[in-house]
C-alpha cells in the first residue's frame, strides 16, 4: 500500500452539505473536536495496555497520546477564547461503527485496530483540509491547516504498524474491505455536525 496523502486513500470525499452544516455550527464542531482529541488519547493508552509486549507499538502510542492531548489543549484554548459554551454532546457513530468490523481474535484483531486508527486519522485529515479551505475565519483556517499536518503523521503511524503485523497483500485486502464500510457509514444521515459525521439531516 503506497503512502499517499490521507484524503487520497479514502473513497468518499466530504460532501458540500457537510461543509455547509459545519460552517454554520462552528461551536458544536469545536466541542465535538475537543471530545475527539480526548478519545484519541484514550484509545492510544488503551492500545498500550492491550499490547504491552509490543514495545514499538507502546512507544508510538505513548507519543501519539501526548500529541492528541496537546491538540485537545489547543482546541480547549480556542473554545475559551471564542467564548463557546461547553456542553455535553453525544458522540458520532463513525468510530464505533468502524470498530464493529474489528476481528475478535488475534492476530487479526491487532491489524484491524491499526487500520481503524488509520481510517479515523485519515478522515480527520480530510475534514480539516476541507474546513481550512472553506472557512472565512482566518484563525480557524490556520488552526485546521496546522492540524492537518499533524494528523497526517498519526495516520501513517497506524498504517506503518499495521504493515508490520501482516503481509502487504492481506493489509491491502482488509483496507479495501473497510474502505467500503467507511463509505457506507458516511453515506447515512445523522444529526451533527461532528468531525466524523455522515450526511446532515
pLDDT tens digit sequence for 117-145 = 999 999 999 999 999 999 877 788 888 88
- Cα–chain-centroid distance for residue 121? 3
pLDDT at 151: 81
Query: In the prediction, which pLDDT does 181 show?
Result: 92
pLDDT exceeds 50 at position 166:
yes
Asked whether the bond before 107 is cis by omega within 30 degrees of 0, the reply is yes
| Secondary structure of the chain in HEC code, one letter for each residue | CCCCCHHHHCCCCCCHHHHHHHHHCHHHHHHHHHHHHHHHHHHHHHHHHHCCCCHHHHHHHHHHHHHHHHHHHHHHHHHHHCCCCCCCCCCCCHHHHHHCCCCCCCCHHHHHHHHHHHHHHHHHHHHHHHHHHHCCCHHHHHHHHHHHHHHHHHHHHHHHHHHHHCCHHHHHHHHHHHHHHHHHHHHCEECCCCCCCCEEC
- Name the band, by pLDDT with cuts 50, 70 and 90, for residue 2: very low
Q: CATH topology for 14-190?
A: Ferritin (1.20.1260)
Q: What pLDDT, on a 0 to 100 scale, did the predictor assign at position 90?
A: 81
d(CA 64, CA 70): 10
Residue 4: the pLDDT is: 55
Measure the CA–CA gap between 21 and 193, rounded to whole angstroms: 7
C-alpha cell at 51: 499490547
Domain ranges for the chain, please list them.
14-190
pLDDT confidence of residue 135: 82
Q: For residue 197, is pLDDT > 50?
A: yes
- Across the chain, what does the average pLDDT equal? 90
pLDDT digits (tens, 9 = 90+) for 60-119: 999 999 999 999 999 999 999 999 998 888 878 899 999 999 999 999 999 999 999 999
Whether 189 shows a pLDDT value over 80: the answer reads yes
Residue pLDDT, tens place only, 20-56: 999 999 999 999 999 999 999 999 999 999 999 999 9
Please state, in angstroms and rounded to a whole number, the distance separating the CA atoms of residues 134 and 68. 24
Q: How confident is the model at residue 158 (pLDDT cuts 50, 70, 90)?
A: very high
Residue 136: its pLDDT value, please?
A: 75
Nearest to 118 by CA among 41, 9, 36: 9
Amino acid at each position: 500500500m503506497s503512502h499517499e496523502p490521507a484524503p487520497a486513500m479514502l473513497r468518499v470525499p466530504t460532501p458540500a452539505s457537510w461543509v455547509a452544516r459545519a460552517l454554520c455550527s462552528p461551536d458544536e464542531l469545536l466541542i465535538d473536536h475537543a471530545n475527539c482529541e480526548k478519545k484519541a488519547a484514550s484509545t492510544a493508552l488503551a492500545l498500550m495496555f492491550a499490547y504491552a509486549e509490543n514495545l514499538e507499538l507502546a512507544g508510538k502510542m505513548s507519543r501519539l497520546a501526548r500529541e492528541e492531548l496537546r491538540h485537545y489543549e489547543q482546541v480547549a484554548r480556542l473554545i475559551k477564547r471564542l467564548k463557546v459554551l461547553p456542553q455535553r454532546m453525544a458522540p458520532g457513530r463513525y468510530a464505533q461503527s468502524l470498530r464493529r468490523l474489528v476481528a475478535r481474535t488475534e492476530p487479526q484483531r491487532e491489524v484491524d485496530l491499526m487500520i481503524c486508527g488509520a481510517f479515523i486519522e485519515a478522515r480527520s485529515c480530510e475534514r480539516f483540509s476541507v474546513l481550512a479551505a472553506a472557512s472565512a475565519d482566518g484563525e480557524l483556517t490556520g488552526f485546521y491547516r496546522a492540524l492537518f499536518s499533524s494528523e497526517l503523521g498519526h495516520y501513517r503511524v497506524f498504517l506503518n504498524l499495521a504493515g508490520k503485523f501482516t503481509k502487504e497483500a492481506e493489509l491491502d485486502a482488509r483496507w479495501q474491505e473497510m474502505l467500503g464500510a467507511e463509505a457506507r457509514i458516511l453515506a447515512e444521515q445523522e444529526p451533527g455536525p461532528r468531525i466524523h459525521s455522515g450526511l446532515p439531516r
